[in-house]
Amino acid sequence: MLAYIIRRILYAFPILLGVNALTFALFFMVNTPDDMARMQLGERYITEQAITTWKQERGYDQDLLWNESADGFEKLTDTIFFDKSLALFSFEFGQADDGRDIGEDIKTRMWPSLAIAIPVFIVGLLVNITFALMMVFFRATYVDLGGVVLCVVLMSISSLFYIIAGQFVIGKVMQLVPISGFGEGVSTIKFLILPVAIGIVSGIGSGSRWYRTLFLEEISKDYVRTARAKGLSEVQVLFKHVLKNAMIPILTGAVVVIPTLFMGSLILESFFGIPGLGSYTIDAIHAQDFAIVRAMVFLGSVLYIVGLLLTDISYTFVDPRVRMDG
């Protein structure tokens, strides 16, 4: 197990380096450091001296990838790519283009993101699996047909519709909860109820339909027929056998998502004015703040790889026959 984990971590470095390099290349294909300086300083009355000073203060006065004027290894290290991108491997996020500390911003904004993402993940997972099991229990009946139709309808509706409709009906017409904003302490709950509810409802269609497919595939196997022959009820078959044997594909979709919960929800946070990492990323894209975008893309890549590793490890707990030899 330990050797497998070490190999997977070593495999992750080339992937992260490739993601880092691609993000760097794409961003600087759109904007040069001079363009970035003009956007931060303002287009009017900008002098060349002001642009030069801005680049020097933020380390954008170096060459991008290769410093021809430097000596030896400094040709690589005395560059924007080395200072701004490779430093991320030590989780030194540096400063945003407007001077803010990115690391401190992440520590502050991660909590609002988790406050939404964790309830949506846990409650949504339970609701989806329960609804899928109900459809399988009543398979080939009008209950199953109605559930499938409902899932297709829910899948066909844009998440933006859920947000706008929820804000209008529940927030504005019924005035049960605030439409947007964020509080402190216990008062935070009233700001989270609506986005969490919308996050759960918008995921029921695709989630329940996928779990239903998994359970139907399992219920047609020989071990289920054997369990029924032993006199087990349909409820016992579903919960003791089908659900247990479907845990590996469920874990594949669930465990890999857990680390990425840290990153928050881009759309929900933006529409509900929640100061999380999702809205932080959207604001950075609008402002074309390369430092923040680079940090968030790298962090997202790291968390995704961690999720894949956790998924593989979790297999051994669900099915003892799985061994980490690859």
Of 51-60, 115-124, 145-154, 226-235, the one with minimum mean pLDDT is 51-60
Q: Give mean pLDDT, residues 179-185.
A: 85
Torsion region of 72: left, alpha or beta (phi above 0 gives left; psi -120 to 50 gives alpha): left
CATH superfamily to which 102-318 belongs: MetI-like (1.10.3720.10)
Contact 106, 284 (CB under 8 A): no
What pLDDT score does 284 carry? Answer: 87
Tell me the three state secondary structure of residue 102.
Answer: helix
What pLDDT score does 72 carry? Answer: 78
Summarize pLDDT for 68-117 with one digit per residue, the tens.
Answer: 777 777 787 788 888 888 788 888 888 887 788 999 999 999 999 999 99
Whole-prediction pTM value? 0.81
Answer whether residue 169 shows pLDDT above 70.
Answer: yes
What pLDDT score does 318 carry? Answer: 63
Answer whether residue 326 shows pLDDT above 90.
Answer: no
Summarize pLDDT for 117-157 with one digit per residue, the tens.
Answer: 999 999 999 999 999 999 999 998 999 999 999 999 999 99
The dihedral sign for the CA sequence 283, 289, 295, 298? positive
Answer whether residue 322 shows pLDDT above 70.
Answer: no
Q: Can you tell me the distance from the alpha carbon of 255 to that of 310, in angstroms, rounded to the nearest whole number?
A: 7
Please report, for the chain, the start and end positions of each structural domain, with discontinuous segments joined by +: 1-90, 102-318
The dihedral sign for the CA sequence 137, 139, 141, 145? positive
Answer whether residue 312 shows pLDDT above 80.
Answer: no
Answer whether residue 44 shows pLDDT above 70.
Answer: no
Q: What is the dihedral of CA 53, 55, 61, 63, to 10 degrees?
A: -160
Percent helix, strand, coil in the chain (nearest 5)? Answer: 75, 0, 25
> Cβ neighbours of residue 190 under 8 Å, at least 6 residues apart?
177, 178, 183
Q: How many residues does the chain have?
A: 326
Contact 276, 269 (CB under 8 A): yes
What pLDDT score does 181 carry? Answer: 86
